[in-house]
Amino acid sequence: MSQVTRRELLKSAAALGTAAALSPALARTAQAQTTQKKELIVAQSGDISKLDPHFSTSSNDIRWSFNLFDNLTSRHPDGKLYPGLATEWKLTAPTTWTFKLRSGVKFHNGDPFTSADAKASIERTYSPDAKTMVATVLTTIDHIETPDAGTLVIHTKKPDPLLPARLAFYGGQIVPEKYLKSVGAEGFNAKPVGTGPVKLGSWTKDDKLVLEANDAYWGGKPDFDRLTMRPIPETAPRIAALLKGEVDAITQLPADQGERVAGNATTRVAGALYAGLYVLAVNSKRPPLDNPLVKQALSLAVDREAVVKELWRNRGIVPSQPIAKGDNHFDASLPPLAYNPNAARDLLKKANYKGEEIFIETTVGYLTNDKQMSEAIQGMWKDVGVNAKVEVIEYSVRAQKNREKSFKGVFWSDPTSTLADPDGMMWRLLGPGGPQDYWRHARWDELGNNARFSVDEKARGEMYKEMTKIFLENFPWIPILQPYEDYGLQKYVEFTPNPNQQFEIRRFNFKFKRA
Amino acid sequence: MRGVLGFLGPKLLRALVAIWLVTTVVFVVMRLSGDPVPLLLPPDAPTSEILRVRRELGLDRPLPVQYLTFAANILRGDFGRSIHFREPAISVVKGYLGATVELGLTAFVLAALVAVPIGLLSAIRRNTPLDHVAMGVALVGQAAPTFFLGILFILLFSLKADLFPTGGRGEWKNLVLPALTLGAFAMASIARVTRSAVLEVLRADYIRTARAKGVAEWIVVVKHTLRNAALPIVTITGLQFGTLLGGAVVTETVFSWPGIGRLAIQSIYNRDYPVVQCAVFLSAIMFIVLNFAIDLVYGLLDPRVRPKA
Amino acid sequence: MSATPAVMDSAVTVRGGAAGRRTARLALAGLAFVVLLGVVAAAAPWIAPHDPVRQSLRGRLGRPTLEAADGRARLLGTDQLGRDVLSRIIYGARVSLTVGIAAVVIGGLVGAGLGIAAGFRRGMTDTVIMTLADAQLAFPFILLAIGIIAVLGPSFPTLIVVVGLSGWVSYARILRAQVIVLRSREFVEAITALGGSVTRVILRHVVPNVLSTIVVIATLELARAIVLEATLSFLGLGIQPPTPSWGGMIYEGREYLDSAWWISTFPGLVLMLTSLVVSRTGDWLRDLLDPTLRGE
């Protein structure tokens, strides 16, 4: 198809206003979108910071660590839990889960996968020496037994019905015990070895990550020989690469560019309502952010509706609580977070706010629209008298600050609801010892702990209601929106996005449309 | 022989002083912000690493000793370890060098090849529309900030006209817009100087003599004019080659060209100071060496410098 | 070429005739442009049609129009946060002129100081300073600038000092040359032999000569400083947002080149025009006042 034709199509699609109203001409040329490709090329907004799955939970990293490694259980895009490296699991006693492990699985370096690896992986996540970023995910576990190579018995401190779901996500990736011990953490990060559908080919920083298909994968070889990830930090070139056919898929597609991708005859937009929230996480240790009244004011000063409407083209919802829509115990009766600049000004006066600087440290494009939202919110905060400053930082710097908890003020975070339950989001991240442990509140901590171990769903519901109430007085996060996370895909890519940001390329979710 | 040495001597001295100056400035600036160690190591570096680096830099010794240690390290090519890439800074920088050389050379050759004929034509066809347009464009080319020129080119020739890619390095098409952007200033300067140099020569007596003798016009132009105008033309061309390096930083950023200019900027954003230090220093050295080489060439060409027979 | 006769000539060497008058008119027009720009910058709060930092998410990425959603004109469109581009360009002139002029002053003072010191003390001081000057000329200053700003962090004072220091050499050379002449014995002897007073000669002839040369250099340097500041702001190392600066606006508009091209293009055109006019004015002034500078 010639360049001119494509441009005419683009123009006509734009004129029609929506991508759905395809003219007959468009439909005819769109139907024959197939390929014989053997290489899948994906462009995302930044390079990887860590390939070690226990040391990073950011979307740019987990897209790949979930493909290099397997978990015992696996959550598919349909939201259900499926067998992974474990084929069955049963609650064999009130505090005991027994997992039957898949046999015949080998790591990329040929070592066999056994229960010893599972045990070592899980214990590593909460080991104080390892200092992982997933230390609070599996802390319900008391001890693990490996009666034989194919069986894993996990004893929890208290009854934990969510354990299999926990193992499906961050921290549940299984790493090889022997290899890790022999190369150490840094060596493992440089040359990771897992059981996943792809293995590491090469990693040239800021250039590309090349992953080779694992021919012997237990779930079947994926529908490509090679998967290449190219970091393209700037949005315009990333989209241009998709439109020109240089890449097969792009991530972090902003809503106001989605129309271009949808209107183009060879590409489409696929999105999922994010199972999580985009929030401004607060370093509540830094004054004046240690004052709840200040944080309440900051929340009231944000016109979330305008952000969703103008920056996201309505592809998102205004949150009402720190629990994502779609999760257990989401309270539909709560109203969306309010916008009231006058009330905000009053609260600031009450709080004795003296004009101290409040920093918004933002990356550019790591979270879709992060910089634009930062500038908009800075303007909104300035309107109510806050001395707000935006500082742009590189993704690598953000990763560092995240590990050291050294942010200057507020920073963007996209907490994922890993269990479809508040325990997997606000408790996992904001709880004591968690990666965003900047704020403590005795009653909130007590409730969170109890809710984790209770099996009475009704009681849990009440506890989360009270936690939400405390949350909305103290705002350890300032939730901004729950967006649709969009991907741009070539039409010959058959792929369903996962609401939890995993880029699932295993056979059951990805294939090229072949003639 | 004495003539050449007498000519080269000061130039060599100047080059060496420039190198010394860069070393000193880099050293001073790094110390200006206080303790340089946090700049050179990742924050999660173990204490043993920190102690090792402190020892290597001689930070517990008096300042002059530190300076000498620093200079000695640099001469060995040791700029420390890149925080972002986790390998020696110098190997990182070396990896990006080729792209900058490719861009710079192309820009330069393009500039010279286009500018000299245009300057020549403008001089010969003085005060015609061709002359006015060419010199007008040259004026704009000299005044336009390089980065904005690049953006304009992207807007017009990549986005609106879809003739070239918007950036990156790959096939020859990727080289066109960056080379044009980088070479614009040089092209404009060389064209203007060529024009005035040729005009000067055209007015000269020996040209009139040649014409009076009935020598064909084009021979007059090419043989006599160019040969005599060569000196200022070569001078300006040589000068412009050096400035290309400075323009490369901006051009590489605008076009996402993976050269050391862009590396330096990215490393600043990444707070990767070992690489910044190394990139700045190596660029400076390259620049100084190039200039010295140009001085050499200039010296060989300039009859005033050649030793008397 | 002996320097003495040149100094003894009339106070200011002016290119005569019709060409000279035309050049003078052009130079005057150029200067008028600079003054106009200064006036616009100073009067920004009264001239700018809108608040340059007022955001309006609903009005973002608006095309240039005579009637936007609120009924008022956005002659050059709005940027990604709904701010009026024209107003930001007007306020951006403040940044460009402030940094430009401050840098010229700093460069001038440092350069003059070093030049006078070199000319006065000769010997080692002279050699050192002149080699320093040569070395700095032979160097892409922007590399040093980004290195310095990288470590010290971008801030207004750092920016002015860095841009200022980028241009001291031209002033130094001129001042040095003049001082050398003034100190030479032949000069003093020639003047006293002709029956004049050295002080009077300095005041009536040398100072105006030097001043006119400095004016030419300052003008050319102003153009260069404005472009350097814009370049540094474009790289994120200069004026930080949300303060409007032409370089910063061009940077912000980059990702919208295909959809909202006006965000980058208009500030860029204004920058180009300013650079062109100011540097041409410098050229014309040089033609008028001191053609001997042409070699620079």
What pTM, to 2 d.p., does this model score? 0.83
CB contact under 8 Å between C81 and A234, yes or no, is no
Q: How far A393 CA sits from the closest chain B CA (Å)?
A: 7
pLDDT at residue B48 in the model:
80
Half-sphere exposure of C56 (CA within 13 A, CB side): 19
Taking the C-alpha atoms of residue B78 and residue A397, their distance in angstroms, rounded to an integer, is 24
Query: Between the ranges A495-504, B76-85, B194-203, B244-253, where is the mean pLDDT highest?
Result: A495-504
Contact C58 A309 (CB under 8 A): yes
Distance, in Å, from the CA atom of B95 to the CA atom of B265, rounded to the nearest integer, reads: 16
B162 contacts A3? CB cut-off 8 A = yes
CB contact under 8 A, C261 and B155: yes
Average pLDDT value for residue range A462-466: 95
Q: What one-letter code names the amino acid at C285?
A: L
Chain C residues within an 8 Å CB radius of B242: 138, 140
Contact C138 B250 (CB under 8 A): no
> How far is residue A215's CA from residue A106's CA, in Å, rounded to a whole number?
11
- Window 73-112 of C: residues touching A by CB (8 A cutoff) are 80-81
Residue type, B117: P
- Residues of A at the C interface (Cβ-Cβ below 8 Å)? 234-236, 303, 306-307, 309-311, 372, 375-376, 378-380, 382, 390, 392
DSSP output for A112-164:
BP-HHHHHHHHHHHH-TTT--TTTTTSTTEEEEEEEETTEEEEEESS--TTHH
Average pLDDT of the residues in C28-52: 93
Q: How confident is the model at residue B206 (pLDDT cuts 50, 70, 90)?
A: low
pLDDT score of A237: 82
| pLDDT at position C218 | 93
Residue B305 above 60 pLDDT? no
B309 pLDDT tier (thresholds 50, 70, 90)? very low
Q: pLDDT confidence of A366, banded at 50, 70, 90?
A: confident
Q: How confident is the model at residue B301 (pLDDT cuts 50, 70, 90)?
A: low
- Per the CB < 8 A criterion, the answer to whether A108 and A403 are in contact is no
**Best residue in C139, C158, C258, C262 to probe B by mutation, most B CBs within 10 Å?**
C139
How far lies A330's CA from each of A231, A276, A333, in Å?
A: 36, 12, 9
Query: What pLDDT, on the 0 to 100 scale, is given for residue A260?
Result: 86
d(CA A213, CA A196): 9
Query: Across the interface, do C275 and B143 touch by the CB < 8 Å criterion?
Result: yes
Average pLDDT in the B74-86 region?
A: 84
Whether residue A405 lies within 8 A of chain B, CB to CB, comes out as: no
Q: Please, which residues bridge with residue A155 across strands?
A: A96, A143
CA distance A11 to chain B (A): 13
Nearest to B166 among A7, A237, A394 (CB): A237
Residues of A in contact with B254 (CB under 8 A): none
Chain C nearest C-alpha distance from A235 (Å): 7
- pLDDT interval class at C206 (50, 70, 90): confident
CA distance B175 to B180: 9
How much is the average pLDDT of C215-240?
92
Chain C: residue nearest B136 by CA?
C276
The rounded percent of chain A whose pLDDT value lies above 70 is: 94
Q: Is the pLDDT of residue B107 over 90?
A: yes
> Cα distance from C275 to chain B (closest Cα, Å)?
6
Closest residue of chain B to C223, computed from CA coordinates: B143
pLDDT at position C14, please? 54
The shortest C-alpha distance from C81 to chain A (Å) reads 7
pLDDT at A501 over 70: yes
CB-based contact C143 B280, cutoff 8 Å: yes
* The pLDDT of residue C1 is above 50: no
What CA–CA distance (Å, rounded) separates A84 from A194? 13
In angstroms, the separation between the Cα of residue A244 and the nearest Cα of chain C is 15
Give me the pLDDT at residue B151, please: 93
- Select from B97, B86, B92, B180 the least CA-distant residue to B141: B180
Q: Count of A–B CB contacts within 8 Å?
A: 32
Compare all CA atoms of chain A with the CA of C254 and give the residue at the minimum distance. Answer: A236
Contact at CB, A397 and B84, closer than 8 angstroms? no
Kindly list the residues from chain A whose CB atom is less than 8 angstroms away from the CB atom of residue B165.
240, 244
Chain B hits for C279, Cβ within 8 Å? 142-143
Q: Answer whether residue A249 shows pLDDT above 90.
A: yes
Measured distance CA(B79)–CA(B93) in Å, rounded: 10
- Which positions in chain C touch A380 (Cβ < 8 Å)? 55
Residues of C within 8 A of B146 (CB-CB) are 231
Give residue C10's pLDDT band: very low, low, confident or very high (50, 70, 90).
Answer: very low
Please report which confidence band the pLDDT of residue B280 belongs to, taking 50, 70 and 90 as the band edges. Answer: confident
B138's CB contacts (< 8 A; 6+ apart) are B187, B188, B189, B191, B192
pLDDT value of residue B33:
63
C257 and chain A in contact, CB less than 8 A = yes
Neighbors of chain B with 3 or more C-beta pairs under 8 Å: A, C
Q: Does B259 touch chain A (CB under 8 A)?
A: no
Q: Model confidence at C8, in pLDDT bands (50, 70, 90)?
A: very low
Cis amide prior to A435 (ω within 30 degrees): no
Which of A364-373, B36-45, C119-128 bottoms out in mean pLDDT, i.e. has the lowest? B36-45
Confidence tier at B54 by pLDDT (50, 70, 90)? confident
Render pLDDT for A172-185 as a digit per residue (tens, 0 to 9): 999 999 999 999 99
* Subunits in contact with chain A (3 or more CB pairs closer than 8 Å): B, C
Pairing verdict, β A357-362 and A387-392: parallel
What pLDDT does A25 receive? Answer: 41
Among B35-44, B279-288, C246-255, C262-271, name the one with the lowest average pLDDT: B35-44
| Closest CB to C255 among A236, A378, A379 | A236
Q: How confident is the model at residue A304 (pLDDT cuts 50, 70, 90)?
A: very high
Tell me what the mean pLDDT of segment B36-56 comes to: 75
Q: Could you tell me how many CB contacts below 8 A there are between chain A and chain C?
A: 40
Sign of the torsion angle spanned by Cα atoms A276, A277, A283, A289: negative
- Residue B304's pLDDT band (cuts 50, 70, 90): low
Find the residue in A nearest to B266 (Cα).
A394
Helix C141-152 vs helix C156-165: angle between axes, to the nearest 10 degrees?
Answer: 160
Determine the Cα–Cα distance for residues C181 and C119; give it in Å rounded to an integer: 9
Mean pLDDT value across residues C33-46: 94
Provide mean pLDDT across the span B263-268. 86
pLDDT at position A30 over 50: no
Q: Is the pLDDT of residue B39 over 80?
A: no
